[in-house]
Amino acid sequence: MTRRKTHRFLQNAESANVIEIGKPLYKTIRGNWRTAYFKNNNPVVLELACGKGEYTVGLAQAFPEVNFIGVDIKGDRIARGAKAAQTLGLHNVAFLRTDINFLTEFFTAGEVNELWITFPDPQPRPKQEKHRLTHPRFLSTYQRLLVAGGTLHVKTDSPELFAYSLEQVKQAQVADLQFTTDLYNSPLNGIHLGIKTKYEQLFFDKGFTINYLQCKMGVI
């Protein structure tokens, strides 16, 4: 392990806004995010595979009356988002270090109001399909965790993943599906508030179009 990673792991251990194995809330937070962590009854929004937390932090700045949780398994990435939130004095941000396969161990049915998936690994090979974050098994989980009519957002630069995601979403029980294959030249552009992750900016600068969809999920 590099010295930089070691420093970031130590930072996570000391950061109140990082919930990870070994901390008391890690085992008790399920169903208690508003009461035990945020100390309010505001809406809860997840960003899955949040990486360095750029989108989580950006949204938290834009919506101070909403609680945002970035979820990722990579501790060194989460550490950067956690530090950024602390530097900005944001108290409506938390980061959960866990595998997305275990979401139901940390959230109860209907505990989440909105869910963002921003630039996930496209898992392009056929045998990787079950690992795509818009695979039916994941969509089924999102249906359970979201409140009735909760919103799912998906952003990706991968045309193949987007086509796959759109097909899976259409087959699921959703409502009010909206999508575009060129977000920045679409009426839907305002939804993302101009927030770009590092990789999104790189894709955009190279001329790639950004694919986006949103729909209502949960028990509608």
Known catalytic residues are: 121
Instruction: Report the alpha-carbon distance of residue 27 to residue 21 in Å, rounded.
Output: 8
For residue 2, report the phi and psi dihedrals to the nearest 5 degrees. Answer: -75, 160
Report the DSSP beta bridge partners of residue 18. Answer: 95
Count of CA atoms in the C-beta half-sphere (13 A) of 105: 13
In the DSSP assignment, the letter for residue 125 is S
Burial (CB count within 10 angstroms: exposed 0-12, middle 13-18, buried 19+), residue 190? exposed
Burial (CB count within 10 angstroms: exposed 0-12, middle 13-18, buried 19+), residue 24? exposed
